[in-house]
């Protein structure tokens, strides 16, 4: 330790050390999160392994910066990584990518959005009044919609990517305010990748529909 560091208060040095460690782990989580998304866009089942490890790291990071629901959300993500892996391997006999892509009607999505919005408001109210959570309503909304959307990914619902675009934009705002710069940059990238993922999955779904009609 240099003389300059020795002259600083012990609490400050400890804080800087913890911040450096957090940034290192955040970097690992970011790398694996990008790997997850790229693999998911290609319907590669190994996306779920990358997701499991990345979300395990984020569970700890978000708890440390008091984004409580984001931390709880990542515990759920870990469970969904296991569920997603199982779903993607239980497709029709002979299928090379597990279950097939599906597209839901706009009416079904409106019902889903309405229910999730009501749940988000209830969770946000509870967090604002009974916890020390920051940005309680936004935190609750991103969490509740991410819970719902992750299920859509596991079920291979094409429109899941559109939900992620909105969730990621709100998340960028939250993470910037909490100083998670690498994660903020990751989510900027996520917006573009989620947009690309939607068009890739929709193209594959349409090709599948065409093949079924002509077969």
Tens digits of residue pLDDT in 40-94: 998 899 999 999 999 999 888 888 777 776 788 788 889 999 999 988 887 544 4
Q: Is 132 helix (H, G, I), strand (E, B) or coil?
A: coil
The domain total for the chain is 1
State phi, psi for 159 to the nearest 5 degrees. -70, -5
Cross-strand pairs, 25: none
Q: Is 102 helix (H, G, I), strand (E, B) or coil?
A: strand
pTM of the model: 0.78
Angle subtended at Cα 150 by Cα 213 and Cα 202, rounded to the nearest 5 degrees: 30
Distance in angstroms (rounded) separating the CA atoms of residues 101 and 18: 43
Distance in angstroms (rounded) separating the CA atoms of residues 190 and 18: 27
Digit-coded pLDDT (tens) for 98-114: 688 999 999 999 999 99
Tokens of 160: 């899941």
Which residue, among 17, 203, 49, has the nearest Cα to 8 in the 3D structure? 17
Sign of the alpha-carbon dihedral angle for 149, 153, 159, 163 = positive
Residue in the block written with tokens 């065409």? 210
Provide the domain limits for residue 89: 3-214
> What is the pLDDT, as a whole number, of residue 5?
42
Residue 167 in this model has a pLDDT that exceeds 70 = yes
């Amino acid at each position: 330790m240099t003389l300059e560091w020795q002259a600083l208060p012990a609490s400050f040095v400890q804080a800087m050390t913890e911040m450096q460690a957090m940034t290192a782990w955040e970097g690992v989580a970011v790398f694996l999160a990008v790997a997850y998304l790229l693999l998911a866009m290609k319907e590669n089942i190994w996306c779920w392994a990358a997701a499991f490890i990345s979300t395990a790291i984020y569970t700890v990071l978000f708890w440390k910066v008091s984004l409580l629901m984001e931390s709880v959300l990542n515990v759920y993500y870990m469970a969904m990584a296991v569920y997603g892996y199982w779903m993607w391997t239980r497709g029709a006999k002979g299928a090379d990518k597990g279950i097939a892509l599906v597209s839901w009607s706009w009416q079904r999505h409106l019902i889903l959005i309405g229910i999730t919005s009501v749940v988000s408001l209830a969770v946000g109210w509870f967090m604002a009044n009974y916890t020390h959570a920051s940005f309680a309503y936004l935190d609750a909304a991103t969490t509740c919609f991410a819970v719902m959307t992750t299920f859509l990914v596991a079920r291979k619902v094409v429109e899941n990517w559109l939900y992620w675009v909105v969730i990621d934009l709100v998340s960028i705002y939250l993470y910037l305010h909490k100083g998670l710069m690498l994660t903020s940059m990751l989510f900027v990238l996520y917006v573009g990748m989620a947009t690309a993922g939607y068009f890739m999955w929709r193209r594959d779904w349409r090709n599948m529909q065409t093949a079924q009609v002509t077969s």
